[in-house]
């Protein structure tokens, strides 16, 4: 009887460990896909120019164009935190989001300014990752942890994308 309990517990452990491993692999693959998606946008911009790239990003609002891929889409900002293109929400274009606060505060209790943090990451030599909380539109706008990747295109603008990781606690 004891042997069956140990066997049963071992099987449960292996089952849940495999689920956790699969989720970690999925997140890693999704992160790499997101980064490559942003880099593809930057390559397109360098070959085709800013205006054509912004127009192509905005086509994502109709689920068309080069810069929408399933749940992935591209957003573009100038270095004053103003939206210059957005792959899903054209109402944001032209809005300055400098003061946009995230729904959760930093661990020290200070406000988290989402777009400012994404821009800081974009200014790193190879771009960067920002973790933040954001309402998930496909999950009744429940708060989820989101991983964003952003990178500078040139000295006037930057682009980014993001993936939802897990529901907030």
How does pLDDT run across 152-167, given as a tens digit for each residue? 999 999 999 999 999 9
The mean predicted confidence, pLDDT, of the chain is: 86
pLDDT of residue 106: 83
Look up tokens 């993936």; give the residue.
Answer: 163
Domain that holds residue 158: 2-167
Task: Locate 169 and state its tokens.
Answer: 């606690």
What distances in angstroms separate CA 132 from CA 22, 63, 88, 104, one per listed residue? 23, 25, 19, 8
Give the 3-state secondary structure of 2-62: HHHHHHHHHHHHHHHHHHHHHHHHHHHHHHHHHHHHHHHHHHHHHHHCHHHHHHHHHHHHH
Q: How many domains does the chain have?
A: 1
15: domain CATH number is 3.30.450.20
pLDDT tens by residue, 17-67: 333 333 444 999 999 999 999 999 999 999 999 999 999 999 987 878 899
The CA-to-CA distance between both ends of the chain, in Å, stands at 39
């Amino acid at each position: 009887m004891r042997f069956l309990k140990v066997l049963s517990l071992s099987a449960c452990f292996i089952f849940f460990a495999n689920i956790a491993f699969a989720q970690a692999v999925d997140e890693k693959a999704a992160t790499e896909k997101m980064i490559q998606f942003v880099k593809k946008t930057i390559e397109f911009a360098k070959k085709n120019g800013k205006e054509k790239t912004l127009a192509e990003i905005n086509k994502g609002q109709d689920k068309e164009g080069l810069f929408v891929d399933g749940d992935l889409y591209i957003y573009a900002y100038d270095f004053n935190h103003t939206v210059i293109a957005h792959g899903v929400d054209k109402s944001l274009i032209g809005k300055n989001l400098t003061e946009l606060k995230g729904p959760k505060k930093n661990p020290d209790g200070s406000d988290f300014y989402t777009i400012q943090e994404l821009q800081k990451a974009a200014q790193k030599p190879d771009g960067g990752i920002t973790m933040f909380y954001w309402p998930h539109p496909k999950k009744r706008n429940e708060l989820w942890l989101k991983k964003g990747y952003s990178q500078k295109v040139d000295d006037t603008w930057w682009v980014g994308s993001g993936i939802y990781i897990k529901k907030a606690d």
